[in-house]
Amino acid sequence: MKRDKALMGEILKQLASFGTLYGDVEKIQSALPGQVAPEVILHHLRLLYDRGLAAVDMHNFWRVTDQGYDALETGGELFGKHETPPPGQRGIDN
């Protein structure tokens, strides 16, 4: 599956729009324009997680990380080089 940076940006924006409520794949899917398959959304959520821009809890609810909000605030540099937090800092939310 190819990476779609525009979709990654849309997913991150949708997660941010949920505010303090976390989003699952179904909620994200319903908020995105068009029909995006759940497995495509999950793949791109994992890519966001790899970059430290999104985090997931044990119930598979996703949220934007502090670094994700910083990336959104930079606008055009959403997917430029970002420092990845140390592995111990990006675990599953409890």
pLDDT tens-digit profile of 81-92?
555 555 555 555
| pTM score, whole prediction | 0.79
Q: What is the mean pLDDT of the chain?
A: 85
Alpha-carbon distance of 41 to 28, in angstroms, equals: 8
Neighbouring-strand partners of residue 56:
62
Is 60 exceeded by the pLDDT of residue 46? yes
Residue at 77: amino acid letter: E
Which domains occur in the chain, in start order? 1-72 (1.10.10.10)
Average pLDDT over residues 26-31: 93
Average pLDDT over residues 7-36: 91
- pLDDT recorded at residue 92: 58
- pLDDT recorded at residue 80: 57
Alpha-carbon distance of 36 to 19, in angstroms, equals: 22
